[in-house]
């Protein structure tokens, strides 16, 4: 111990990734730009810092400048030396087991993607190659469970939500757990933690001993949304686009709680896939929900979708407010439709291979630079799924400017991102983002939010 707030100790894995090659050790210890040390240090700190009320990745790193992590391989296996780690990850000097598991899950995925995974098959189109890569990452993490009927519900929503909304997410998770559903989220706090917490209680009552609480993150966001320790399957994807695709390939149904720009990005991504004419026959249950006080929030979201993407997009989801049991019953009905559809098409239960995901629109990583943000085509004459993809990219840039270290530094250097397009469409986007600011949904604990974007009409 080095004080009340920091801990220095050594940890080893329980049963996950017990040995490393000499090459892997060298990569983890390499502090140059081509090494994995800096990335692993950042992600490890995020895992250890769970429960923090900071969602600015740069602030997290600045606050814990003294934190270090050293990797070695003794005769008994891997050993991590944690130096000046946040004390919240420990009980009486011993690391919390769930946090230990997540720490070594991060190590597993960073090594696998960075060093071992080579799926550059010349015979594959780029889209198929990326989907194949996601499959291999999920399989390596043992996240694919064949021979089990569809039951994994993806829950999306804001990390910066009030107490009433958080308690509601727990109630929905509880109702899902009573019906035997497992839960998958972005693994952070707020609406990503609540459903898991509720489901654990319901699983205990139903004597479900193998409940799954899957968390999917990526290196750019993990420091701003530290994995909550309820997660018992943490998966770190290489980038935000692969993270989003992992949700739709692995999950069977979707529930969205109120949130900010990140939640809107997820909604637009999913609607973009559902609006693609190639996916019209797919069954993908999508529910928007929240407490009674969220009725106005969802009316604003529904209005924005109607104004930008039209009635076809509005038919892709149902809104159920103030009734957690009804949400769970509606999801059970949708899950049966998913099961029937996959039986009819001979699709696997554990991985949605047949869903078409366009490479240029949804798989190619979008880098939110000032140039790329200004170049986004935000006009209503585009095909609906393409407009959804472009709006998704715009929201991704807002998220980056709010909480990601690279985005924050870019805003400080060059000023706000500029977004422009057709006046009515931009007005709708402006109203949506302004509502997030007024409802304090952009970041955690800010007195006055300074927009990282500027909308031009």
DSSP letters of 166-191? HHHHHHHHHHHHHTT-EEEE-SSSGG
- What's the pLDDT at 360? 95
Buried b (16+ CB within 10 A) or exposed e, 279-303: beebbbbbbbbbbeebeebbeebee
DSSP secondary structure letters along 303-324? HHHHHHT-HHHHTT-EEEES-H
Q: Could you tell me the two tokens for 43? A: 């992600």
Asked whether this chain's domains 6-116 and 142-345 adopt the same fold, the reply is: no
Cα(429)–Cα(435) distance, rounded to whole angstroms?
10
pLDDT in tens, 185-240: 998 889 999 999 999 999 999 999 999 999 999 988 887 778 888 999 999 999 99
User: Which range has the top average pLDDT, 259-263, 321-325, 442-446?
Assistant: 321-325
Is the model more confident about 121 or about 345?
345
> What is the rounded CA–CA span in Å between residue 71 and residue 78?
7
- Mean pLDDT is highest, among 80-89, 223-232, 317-326, 439-448, for 317-326
DSSP secondary structure code for residue 279 in this structure: G
284: CB partners within 8 A, 6+ apart: 248, 253, 254, 270, 273, 274, 338, 355
| Tokens read off for 425 | 């469409």
Q: Does residue 337 have a pLDDT over 50?
A: yes
Interatomic CA distance for residues 58 and 270, integer angstroms: 29
Least confidently predicted of 14-28, 73-87, 314-328: 14-28
In words, the CATH class of domain 142-345 is alpha beta
> Percentage of residues in the chain with pLDDT exceeding 90?
62
- CATH superfamily membership of 6-116: MoCo carrier protein-like (3.30.1850.10)
pLDDT grade for 379, boundaries at 50, 70 and 90: very high
A 10 A CB-CB count for 53 gives: 8
Render the burial of 118-128: b for 16+ CB within 10 Å, e for the rest: eeeeeeeeebe
Segment among 44-53, 98-107, 160-169, 210-219 with least mean pLDDT = 44-53
Contacts of 56 (CB under 8 A, 6+ apart): 224, 402, 403, 408, 443
What value, to the nearest 5°, has the Cα angle with vertex 322 and ends 317 and 325? 80
Residue scoring higher pLDDT (378 or 107): 378
Measured distance CA(155)–CA(186) in Å, rounded: 8
Neighbouring-strand partners of residue 7: 85
- Dihedral in degrees, nearest 10, Cα atoms 78, 83, 85, 91: 70
Show the tokens assigned to 25: 């050790």
CB-based contact 260:436 (threshold 8 Å)? yes
State both tokens at 440.
């304090």
Residue 405 has pLDDT above 90, yes or no: no
pLDDT-derived band of residue 440, with 50, 70 and 90 as boundaries? Answer: confident
Mean pLDDT to the nearest integer, 367-374: 95
The predicted structure's pLDDT at residue 419: 96
H or E segment at 288?
A: strand 286-290
Mean pLDDT on 313-336:
97
DSSP state at residue 141: T
Q: Which residues make Cβ contacts (< 8 Å) with residue 137, sequence separation at least 6?
A: 109, 112, 113, 117, 235, 237, 242, 246
Q: What pLDDT score was predicted for residue 3?
A: 42
CA distance 359 to 269: 13
Q: What is the pLDDT of residue 2?
A: 40
Mean pLDDT for the chain overall? 89
53: left (phi over 0), alpha (psi -120 to 50) or beta: alpha
Alpha helix locations (H) across 30-91?
Answer: 37-48, 57-63
pLDDT category at 305 given cuts 50, 70, 90 is very high
Domain ranges of the chain: 6-116, 142-345, 362-456
User: In this predicted model, what pLDDT tens digit does every residue of 92-138 receive, in sequence order?
Assistant: 889 999 899 999 898 888 888 765 455 555 556 889 889 989 999 99
Residue (of 98, 2, 92, 3) closest to 48 by Cα position: 98
Both structure tokens of 163: 């107490």
- Which value, to the nearest 10 degrees, does the dihedral of the CA atoms of residues 170, 142, 287, 357 take? 150
The pLDDT of residue 243 is above 80: yes
Rg of the chain over CA atoms, in angstroms? 21
Q: And the tokens for 278?
A: 């190639």
Question: 115 near 27, Cβ under 8 Å?
Answer: yes
Residue 288 has pLDDT above 80, yes or no: yes
Query: Which burial class, exposed, middle or buried, applies to 375 when counting CB atoms under 10 A from its CB (0-12, 13-18, 19+)?
Result: exposed
Cα(224)–Cα(60) distance, rounded to whole angstroms?
8
């Amino acid at each position: 111990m080095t004080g009340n707030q920091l801990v220095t100790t050594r940890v080893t894995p329980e049963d996950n990734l017990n040995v490393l090659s000499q090459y892997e050790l060298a990569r983890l210890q390499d502090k140059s730009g081509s090494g994995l040390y800096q990335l692993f240090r950042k992600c490890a700190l995020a895992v250890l810092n769970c429960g923090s009320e900071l969602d600015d990745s740069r602030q997290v790193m600045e606050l814990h400048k003294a934190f270090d992590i050293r990797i070695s391989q003794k005769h008994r296996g891997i050993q991590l030396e944690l130096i000046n780690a946040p004390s919240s990850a420990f009980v009486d000097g011993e690391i919390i087991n769930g946090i230990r598991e997540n720490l070594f899950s991060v190590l597993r995925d960073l090594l696998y993607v960075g060093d071992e995974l080579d799926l550059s098959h010349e015979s594959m189109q780029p889209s198929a190659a990326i989907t194949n890569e996601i499959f291999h990452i999920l399989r390596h993490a043992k996240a694919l469970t064949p021979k089990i009927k569809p039951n994994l519900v993806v829950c999306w929503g804001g990390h910066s939500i009030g107490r009433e909304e958080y308690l509601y997410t727990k109630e929905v998770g509880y109702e899902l757990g009573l019906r035997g559903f497992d839960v998958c989220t972005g693994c952070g706090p707020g609406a990503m933690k609540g459903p898991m917490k509720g489901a654990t209680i319901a699983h205990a009552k139903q004597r479900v001993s193998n409940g799954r609480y899957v968390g999917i993150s990526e290196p750019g966001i993990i420091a701003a949304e530290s994995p909550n320790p309820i997660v018992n399957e943490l998966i770190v994807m290489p980038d935000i686009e692969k993270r989003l695709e992992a949700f739709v390939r692995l999950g069977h149904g979707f529930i969205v709680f109120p949130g900010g720009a990140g939640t809107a990005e997820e909604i637009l991504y999913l609607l973009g896939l559902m609006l693609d004419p190639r996916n019209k026959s797919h069954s993908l249950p999508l529910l928007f929900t929240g407490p009674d006080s969220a009725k106005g929030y969802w009316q604003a979201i529904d209005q924005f979708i109607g104004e930008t993407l039209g009635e076809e997009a509005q038919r892709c989801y149902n809104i159920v407010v103030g009734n957690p049991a009804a949400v769970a019953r509606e999801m059970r009905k949708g899950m049966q439709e998913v099961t029937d559809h996959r039986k009819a098409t001979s699709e696997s239960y554990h991985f949605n291979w047949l869903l078409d995901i366009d490479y240029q629109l949804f798989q190619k990583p979008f880098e939110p630079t000032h140039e790329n943000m200004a170049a986004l085509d935000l006009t209503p004459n585009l095909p609906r799924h393409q407009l959804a993809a472009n709006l998704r990219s715009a929201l991704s840039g807002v998220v980056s400017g709010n909480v990601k270290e690279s985005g924050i530094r870019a805003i400080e250097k060059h000023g706000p991102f500029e977004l422009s397009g057709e006046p009515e469409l931009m007005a709708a986007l402006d109203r949506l983002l302004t509502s997030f600011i007024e409802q304090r949904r952009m970041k955690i604990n800010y007195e006055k939010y300074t927009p990282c974007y500027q909308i031009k009409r």
